[in-house]
Structure 1
Amino acid sequence: MSTALLQELHQEYRRLYIAGSELAAGDFRLKRLLPQFQQLGERSPVFKKLGEGITALIEAGSPDSLAPGIQLQENTLLLESVLYTQGTTSVEGTPGPLPVRKFTLQTNQTYRKLAPVIEALTTTGSGRYEIVLDAYKEGVFQDLRLLPLAVSALNDPYSELAEYAKNHILPSYGPEIAGYLLESFNPAGGRSEVRKLEVIAQAGASSHLDVIVQAAENGSDEIRAAAIKCLGEYEEYTGLLLEWSADKKKIIREAAYTALAAGGSAQGAERLIEVFLQKKDREMLAAVLAYGAPAAVYARLTALFMDELTAAPETNADKKITEKAWDELAPFMAALRQAKSAELDAIYSYVLKEYNRYTSLGWIHLIDHAARYKQESADNAALEELAELAQRSVRYLPNYFHAAKGRVSPQEMFDRFAGTLTETKLIGQAAKQAAQRAQLLIHTIEEQVVDLYWDYEVRWDASGVRQYNKRILSAEEVAAEWDPRWLEWSIKQDAMNLACVFARPGHRGVQEYLRGKLEGTLKRYTYERLTNIFKGLERAELPEAERLELLISALEENNVRNLYTFDHYLFEMMERFPASYVDRVKEIAPRFKYESKRQLEYILDQLVSKQ
């Protein structure tokens, strides 16, 4: 007997249990089912009885009828008895062993620790990434209850969270995660399945090569590309990779190039050089080779690169020829971006010697590339080449500076760079070039000593939030790595940030210089400049009482520009305010908004508690 009709009636009875049996009278859904039961009731007494029950329920309310609730109960009891006798409880298929997983995960984390992670992985919104990141660092994901959520994170709408789960969380479960992911792997899926495949390959590709090959042959385009990239290190699949490198689809060819570049086989190297010479996929292949390739490929491309350079036009008489030559040359620089060899070093030396020729062609990017290569080499010969290049154009002063830093003594660094700035008063173009050189040098040094990021715990927020903040090079690092003459030079160049970094006790004039900058800044300041000034004053050992008074005076100025938050250094200074500042802080707090207002309110509470 088919139970479909009986199941439908049972569903309607369940609905009435929830909605209320009084609503059964005249119910149109039951009226629609009644004729079918009456028709079947002509041949079967049980269906006749069920039909009578439906009729009694629909016509509830007559003096002789049962109460709707009792009638519904009796009808349901009869219906479930029929369903029980007509239904089946046998399990389809043949019995087999239950799947056994070798995870060594525990369930010893408290739910208080798990709850915020569960919420972060089952909801959307800001702040979730930081919660997951901290939980992973604390080992919370080693709890078995978070394993399914860690897998579902591969499909998180926030791509950074999904990538973090792929690159860190899931691999931390060990090789066993590969088998677990295979149970739900869908070769026809999209980006989340690609991530799943990448985790499988990372955790234990050699144990699941059959699945990876099948995905490479029959999956969606995204899955195929990801699977092909996983096969590069297995030489037995070189033939397939060579075949895929000629596929009509660009995404498949690119994946095959990537795998061949990672594999390092002789056949693969020949195929990559062949494709590069054909020019059809040259730019795409160059981007692949930039991340690594067999030595034979780099050696061949280096030789071809030199041929292209020497064949370049001598002048820019025909711009179309020059542009065509550049279009063919540029992919070589991209492909050889990470390559290092004596031959390549000689090529870039040749480029620098031909500076006038290549700049006349407008190929300044080629000179930039050569300067970066020499900067990374930074041997004595490269250092002198960069020194000469910096003389030709101030544009390359940073390359020269970075190459020299760490190779020569702090004293020689100062002599090479700051010592070359003349004390003689210059005029005209010479003065303009000297000023440009000084500003570029200031900017280059600032990149190394100012705005170095670190994180800290937010004390004014009880939730334990962490934020990033800026710091400057420590006084100990300055003393070890920088000549003391940089302080005097910074003051003369009016390089305030550098003067703050290089400030030291006992230097005549540094306190006066920074206090003067502070007084000028008070009229119109940014809090970033203000922070560095106070850091410099501390290094110059201005007494703290004076520094705190200068800070409260700065806050009392009316030139606040919608500041979101105070730098952590300034906040820590405010924490050391004396209790006598309570009225002054109370006066300025209403001017601020956002996080800075919360910070000042926290400081005010601390000051009140000191009274």
Structure 2
Amino acid sequence: MSTALLQELHQEFRRLYIAGSELAAGDFRLKRLLPQLQQLGERSPVFKKLGEGVETLLEPGGAEGAAPGAALLEVTLLLESVLYTQGTVQAEGTPGPIPVRSFTLQTKQPYRKLAPVLEALSTTGSGRYEVVVDAFKEGVFQDLRLLPVAVSALNDPYSELAEYAKNKILPSYGPEISSYLLESFNPAGGRSEVRKLEAIAAAGASSHLDVIVHAAENGSDEIRAAAIKCLGGYEEYTDALLEWSADKKKVIREAAYTALAAGGSARGAERLIEAFIQKKDREMLAGVLADGAPAEVYARVTALFMEELQAAPENTAGKKVTEKAWEELTPFLITLYHVKTPELDAIFSYVLKEYNRYISLGWVPLFDHAARYKQESADSAALEELAELAQRSVRHLPNYFHAAKRTVSPQEVFDRFGGTLTDTKLIGQAAKQAAQRSQLLVHTIEEQAVDLYWDYEVRWDASGVRQYNKKMLSAEEVAAEWDPRWLDWSIKQDALNLACVFARPGHQGVQDYLKGKLVGPFKRYTYDRLANIFKGLERADLPEPERLELLMSALEENNVRNLYTFDHYLFGMMERFPARYADRLKEILPRFKYECKRQLEYIYDQLVSKL
């Protein structure tokens, strides 16, 4: 018999169990099913009994009748008995062996550690990435219960989290993960299936080459490209890769080029060189070859680079001609960006010698690449080439400085730069150019000595607010790596940040200079570097009581009110305020907002507690 009507009736009974049996009276859904039950009841006593039970629910009797709950329970018991005897349950498919996996994962982690990870990988919103990364570093993902969600993370809407799962979490399970991923791999899928395929290949491509080849031939374009890249290094598939490198679809050709570049075969190298010479895919190839290629490819591209440089048009050839020539040269610079060979070194030396020729074409980026290459060479010949280039164009002064810093002594660095850029007798255009070079030099040195990086740490109260801190070179590093004359040079250039870094005990001039920045109306530009000023005063050995008084005075300046938060160096100084500053701090509190106000309130409470 058909159980469709009985199943539908069972669903309505379940609804009434949840909603309440009292709501069965007059229920329109039960009224809709009742005529069918009564019709079947004419031929079957069971259906007749079920129909009577439904009628009882729809029209409950008076005080002597059964309670709605009891009536619902009685008719449900009858219905489930019928369903149990009439229904059939049969597993689909053909019986076979139960799959056995060789994972050595256990389930020893307490659920309180698993719960945040499960929530992070089953929801959306901010903060999930940090939860997952921290859990992985603590080894939480070695719990078997997190294996399914680790795989599902490949489809996470936050791409960085999905990539982290592919690159870090899944490989940590070992080669066994590839077989597990294959069970759900869909060659016709999208980005999540691409990640799955890449994880399979990374875990053990050689064990699943048949699957990878099948995906390369029959998958979606994304899957095909990913699968083709996985075949790099397998000589038996070189013929297929060569064929794919001529495919009509750009994404397939690019994947084939990538695999050939990774494979390192002679035939693959020949194909890459051929495609680069043909220019059709030169721009695409540049990005591929920049990540790695056989040495013979780089050698041939280098030689071709020289040929095209020598064949560059004259500056009278017209803008379109020179722009087209530059477009064809740009892929060489991308391809050879990480290459270091004597041949390439000679090419960039040639470029620097032909400065007038190539600068007349407007090829400034060519000299940027040449200067970068020579800077990284860091030998005496390259240093002199950069010195000449910096004389031609102040744009390349930083390259010259960086190379000198790596090549010669700190004393000679100052002699080359600090002693030649401060001539006060220059006038007119010469003075303007000297000032420009000095300002550029200030910025270049700041990159190496000031605000090298930021870090954050929790420093106050239970709210866990993180305060920023900017790191500069330590006094020990300055003494070992920099000539002491840079301090006087910095003061002369009014380079505040550098004066703070190079400050040292016994130099009265730096104390006067830095204190002068805190006297009178507080300037806005010094607000951003307020912490640096006090670090400099500490390095200059100014007594702490005087430094604390200067900081308190700076806070009392009317212009110091647009802060969001104090970094933890300044906050640490405030924690050392004497208790007598409490009234002065209370006076200025209304002028501050945001986190800095909360910080000052915290300091105020601490000072009051000391009184």
TM-score (structure 2 length as normaliser): 0.94
| CA deviation after TM superposition for structure 1 residue 131, in Å | 3.3
Question: Aligned in 2, Cα 1:383/1:216: closer, same or farther, shift over 3 Å?
Answer: same
Q: Is the 8 A contact 2:561 2:592 kept in 1?
A: no
| CA deviation after TM superposition for structure 1 residue 237, in Å | 2.0
Letter in 2 for 1:581: Y
| CA deviation after TM superposition for structure 1 residue 234, in Å | 2.0
Question: Aligned in 2, Cα 1:190/1:373: closer, same or farther, shift over 3 Å?
Answer: same
Q: Is the 8 A contact 2:467 2:568 kept in 1?
A: no
Deviation string 1:294-340 (CA, Å, 9 cap, x unpaired) is 11211111111111111111323422222221122121111221222
The corresponding residue for 2:184 is: 184
CA distance in 2, matches of 1:520, 1:156: 56
Q: Which moved more, 1:251-260 or 1:389-398?
A: 251-260
Question: Aligned in 2, Cα 1:183/1:468: closer, same or farther, shift over 3 Å?
Answer: farther
The corresponding residue for 1:510 is: 510
Q: Which moved more, 1:202-211 or 1:469-478?
A: 202-211
Query: Is 1:450 paired with 2:450?
Result: yes
Letter in 2 for 1:239: D
CA distance in 2, matches of 1:544, 1:107: 56
Q: Is the 8 A contact 1:418 1:489 kept in 2?
A: yes
Q: Is the 8 A contact 1:316 1:360 kept in 2?
A: no
Q: After superposition, where does 1:326-405 map in structure 2 within 5 Å? A: 326-405=326-405
The corresponding residue for 2:585 is: 585
Query: Is 1:259 paired with 2:253?
Result: no
Question: Aligned in 2, Cα 1:208/1:600: closer, same or farther, shift over 3 Å?
Answer: farther
The corresponding residue for 1:555 is: 555
CA distance in 2, matches of 1:106, 1:540: 58
Question: Aligned in 2, Cα 1:538/1:105: closer, same or farther, shift over 3 Å?
Answer: farther
The corresponding residue for 2:308 is: 308
CA distance in 2, matches of 1:35, 1:220: 53
Q: How many residues align?
A: 611
Letter in 2 for 1:228: I
Q: Is the 8 A contact 2:298 2:336 kept in 1?
A: yes
Q: Which moved more, 1:408-417 or 1:170-179?
A: 170-179
| CA deviation after TM superposition for structure 1 residue 501, in Å | 0.5
Deviation string 1:397-418 (CA, Å, 9 cap, x unpaired) is 1111111222211111111111
The corresponding residue for 1:290 is: 290
Query: Is 1:538 paired with 2:538?
Result: yes
Over the aligned positions, Cα root-mean-square deviation in angstroms equals: 2.3
Q: Secondary structure at the match of 1:374?
A: helix
CA distance in 2, matches of 1:555, 1:424: 37
Deviation string 1:225-259 (CA, Å, 9 cap, x unpaired) is 22222221222222222222222222222222212
The corresponding residue for 1:407 is: 407
| CA deviation after TM superposition for structure 1 residue 578, in Å | 1.9
Q: Is the 8 A contact 2:467 2:567 kept in 1?
A: no
Q: Secondary structure at the match of 1:596?
A: helix
Deviation string 1:265-287 (CA, Å, 9 cap, x unpaired) is 12221222222222222211112
Question: Aligned in 2, Cα 1:484/1:292: closer, same or farther, shift over 3 Å?
Answer: same
Question: Aligned in 2, Cα 1:458/1:422: closer, same or farther, shift over 3 Å?
Answer: closer
CA distance in 1, matches of 2:570, 2:287: 45
| CA deviation after TM superposition for structure 1 residue 66, in Å | 3.5
| CA deviation after TM superposition for structure 1 residue 586, in Å | 2.8
Q: Is the 8 A contact 1:316 1:322 kept in 2?
A: no
Aligned-pair identity in percent equals 84
Letter in 2 for 1:331: P
| CA deviation after TM superposition for structure 1 residue 466, in Å | 5.3
Letter in 2 for 1:13: F
Structure 2 stretches lacking a partner, 5+ long: none
| CA deviation after TM superposition for structure 1 residue 55, in Å | 2.9
CA distance in 1, matches of 2:185, 2:520: 65
Q: Is the 8 A contact 1:527 1:567 kept in 2?
A: no
Q: Secondary structure at the match of 1:420?
A: coil
Query: Is 1:428 paired with 2:446?
Result: no
Q: Is the 8 A contact 2:522 2:560 kept in 1?
A: no
| CA deviation after TM superposition for structure 1 residue 523, in Å | 4.2
Deviation string 1:85-138 (CA, Å, 9 cap, x unpaired) is 122344344544444443344444444444444443333333333333333333
Question: Aligned in 2, Cα 1:156/1:568: closer, same or farther, shift over 3 Å?
Answer: farther
| CA deviation after TM superposition for structure 1 residue 520, in Å | 5.5
Question: Aligned in 2, Cα 1:523/1:398: closer, same or farther, shift over 3 Å?
Answer: closer
Q: After superposition, where does 1:566-577 map in structure 2 within 5 Å? A: 566-577=566-577
The corresponding residue for 2:138 is: 138
| CA deviation after TM superposition for structure 1 residue 372, in Å | 1.1
TM-score (structure 1 length as normaliser): 0.94
Q: Is the 8 A contact 2:187 2:215 kept in 1?
A: yes
Letter in 1 for 2:183: E
Structure 1 stretches lacking a partner, 5+ long: none
Query: Is 1:32 paired with 2:32?
Result: yes
The corresponding residue for 1:271 is: 271
Q: Secondary structure at the match of 2:453?
A: strand
| CA deviation after TM superposition for structure 1 residue 561, in Å | 4.8
Q: Secondary structure at the match of 1:455?
A: strand
| CA deviation after TM superposition for structure 1 residue 464, in Å | 5.0
CA distance in 2, matches of 1:102, 1:255: 33
CA distance in 1, matches of 2:260, 2:467: 43
Deviation string 1:370-395 (CA, Å, 9 cap, x unpaired) is 11111122222211111111111111
Question: Aligned in 2, Cα 1:158/1:599: closer, same or farther, shift over 3 Å?
Answer: farther
Q: Is the 8 A contact 1:531 1:567 kept in 2?
A: yes
Q: Is the 8 A contact 2:233 2:263 kept in 1?
A: yes
CA distance in 2, matches of 1:468, 1:105: 40
CA distance in 2, matches of 1:122, 1:563: 38
Deviation string 1:49-86 (CA, Å, 9 cap, x unpaired) is 22332233223346775332222112111110011112
CA distance in 2, matches of 1:154, 1:465: 33
Q: Is the 8 A contact 2:386 2:400 kept in 1?
A: yes
| CA deviation after TM superposition for structure 1 residue 539, in Å | 0.5
Q: Secondary structure at the match of 1:323?
A: helix
| CA deviation after TM superposition for structure 1 residue 563, in Å | 1.9
Question: Aligned in 2, Cα 1:542/1:422: closer, same or farther, shift over 3 Å?
Answer: closer
The corresponding residue for 1:149 is: 149
CA distance in 2, matches of 1:523, 1:151: 55
Q: Is the 8 A contact 2:386 2:399 kept in 1?
A: yes
CA distance in 2, matches of 1:467, 1:118: 30
Letter in 2 for 1:163: E
The corresponding residue for 1:60 is: 60
CA distance in 2, matches of 1:503, 1:562: 28
Q: After superposition, where does 1:593-608 map in structure 2 within 5 Å? A: 593-608=593-608
Q: Is the 8 A contact 1:500 1:537 kept in 2?
A: yes
The corresponding residue for 1:204 is: 204
The corresponding residue for 2:242 is: 242
| CA deviation after TM superposition for structure 1 residue 170, in Å | 2.7
Q: Is the 8 A contact 1:525 1:559 kept in 2?
A: no
Q: Is the 8 A contact 1:460 1:598 kept in 2?
A: no
